[in-house]
Amino acid sequence: MRIDVLTIFPEYLAPLRAALLGKAIERGLLDLTVHDLRDWTHDVHRSVDDSPYGGGPGMVMKPQVWGEALDEVCAGEVPPRLVVPSPAGRPFTQETARQYATESRLVFACGRYEGIDQRVIDDAARRMPVDEVSIGDYVLVGGEVAVMVMVEAVARLLPGVLGNPASAEQDSFSDGLLEGPSYTRPEVWRELAVPEVLRSGNHAAIARWRRDRALERTFHRRPDLLATLPDQALDRHDRAV
């Protein structure tokens, strides 16, 4: 997968080249290019923002600079999917990550200030799929952190990136539930013991116990997820938990 990121703070994306994702890039599983949006300015101040029409606080990112940058970065046989982080976007979920992981190209546009002139998104939508997405109900200072979240969530789903593919298959949310608790050695730590069933070797009982803990945790922390589960996702035992 090829990923391009446009930002006025390229250094903000440096962590994407560390650790697991850095290895995926080195192994050619992911092709990541981070572009400095100011490379498409033509004035001596390299300005990218201006005052908002209609008044209001802060500044808005100019359409001209974004237009030229996207024309160049998004050029090619197959138009990429353009992903624009925004507090006003549709929620980015694990399902979004799964869909994005099937794309051959993604371009992420990192806004700053109060956001990007809407005409940039409207113009791009004339020639490529455009998603305005939110990573949560809070307001960040710009799109860069949101892009790092999304790139990590997508890249880990690419074949070969995770050492153990089962991890991605058993993700929280993969069966619509939150993951339950995990344990490792020692058997007792600060007088807290590992649940007996996990040391029993009874794999059916272990699977049942893990599902029960996932159901309990989801019920208490994210009842909204239970409401969206398809009826057949819960068996009679599940409903009794």
Supply the minimum distance, in Å, between the C-beta of residue 93 and ligand JCE: 12
Q: Does 50 bind ligand JCE (CB under 6 A)?
A: no
Q: Does the annotation count 87 as an active-site position? A: yes
Contacts of 228 (CB under 8 A, 6+ apart): 176
Q: Does 86 bind ligand JCE (CB under 6 A)?
A: yes
Q: Does 52 bind ligand JCE (CB under 6 A)?
A: no
Interacting positions 141-200 with ligand JCE (CB under 6 A)? 141-143, 146
Counting residues that bind ligand JCE (by CB under 6 A) gives: 18
Interacting positions 111-150 with ligand JCE (CB under 6 A)? 111-115, 134-136, 138-143, 146
Q: Does the annotation count 114 as an active-site position? A: yes
Residues at the contact surface with ligand JCE, assessed by CB under 6 A? 85-87, 111-115, 134-136, 138-143, 146
Q: Which residues are catalytic?
A: 87, 114, 156, 171
